[in-house]
Copies of this chain bind each other. A is one copy, B any other.
Amino acid sequence: MSGNVADTNSAWIADKCWMLGHEVVWHGGVGDHTDAIGDACMLAEKRAEVVFVTGGLGATLDDITVESAAKVFGKKIILHEDIWRGIQDFFKRVGRECTENNKRQAYLPEGGKPLTNTVGTAPGVQVKFGKAVFFFLPGVPKELFQIFGDSILPWLAERSGENVYEQRFLRCFGIPEASFDERLKDIELGDVRMSFRVTFPEVKIKLVARKCSCPPPHCRRAGIYGAKEPMNSGPINRATTNISNVEKQIRARIGEYIYGTDDETMAAVVGKLLLKNKKRVAIAESCTGGLIAHMLTNVPGASNWFERGVVSYSNESKMQILSVKEATIKKHGAVSEACAREMAEGVRKISGADFGLAVTGIAGPTGGTKEKPVGTVHIALASLKGIEHVHCCFPRDRESFKAIVAYEAMDIVRRTLM
């Protein structure tokens, strides 16, 4: 209510519900006031059969969600000794002091079922209030996701109705969003829904098709929430086939911009390609300041294909570690094609890696000139076959500049390995 935090939980929950064929009809937000929370819960109970309530399960005095809701439905809250012991154990395990405050989290409404929280202290609660099933969940996204995934997704899947969906994301980089409409306007969609989502600096194409209208056990076999039984044939394959048909058409038009699908990151795709080709990369970054190395090393197992990174911010470090020639910097400047080439070849040679990737540019907000405005960047990729060079200009704020340059640089490695 104060605008300090944007609510991203609602969208996350809605996405999960929708994929399992449950329609989300309403969401609302209120402050930490007993009456406001009670009113919102009463209203929700009238509107839907299932209600998710997030936030306010913490250990401090303004965490009053569960007791406020219980009160309005005329239920008591009861101390669960086993939960209280579990909370004390949790604190012992992480070596922190457990205060009397934390005991608040061990109180559940009568008839409530605790939902195990393996990430934090407050368990979720499932309880019937009036005609609706209420789920009370922590507001901390990580805890919410864990409890939702472990305890609620299976419950929702068992109750999934006629409209269960399959979706696929095609992740694109390097094509302006506005030209998407143009390039993709005559795609034959059939009953597949196509939409776009921009998460700078990439664009995701979302394809959705209805999966089946069979009774729930079938949907569960389809692997919707990760069951290990084999995929069923028939209606499911129809959805998969429909999506694949649309994907094929899209790839025929803009395939070179599609770097991955679903949850694959650009860094993970680059890592997978390096691993598959038994190659290693070393990096010399100037203007991205370590971001490329950071993104690549977010991928588990990166040490198998990421040899080293050098954040050569000063000219001395470029000369000393990467053997960039002083004359090159004097003649062309540190932001130049010549310097990028020497950085890439330098980091490749000293590291013994197969690829040397280098970026040098002007992130801004200051440091630009008429010839080299803020946003100028030179990217070079060195290998045994020679050195490739790209010159771009992304006149953006500092952090957006770093992000788009990091993607551009990784994309060059990806295209080379393809």
Contact = CB atoms under 8 A, between A and B. Distances in A.
B3 A25 contact: no
Interface of A is mostly: mixed
Contacts of A399: 298
Interface residues of A, number: 88
A241 interface: no
Contacts of A301: 366
Interface string A387-412: 00000000000110010000000000
Interface stretch (A194-202, A242-250, A252-260): A194-202
Contacts of A102: 178
A309 interface: yes
Given A28-B26, A294-B294, A297-B289, A10 B15 contact: no
A327 interface: no
Nearest to A305: B313
Interface in A324-349: none
A158 interface: no
Contacts of A288: 294, 297
A147 to B, nearest CB: 16
A320 interface: yes
A311 B283 contact: yes
A61 B289 CA distance: 39
Given A15-B2, A290-B290, A291-B294, A309 B307 contact: no
A4 interface: yes
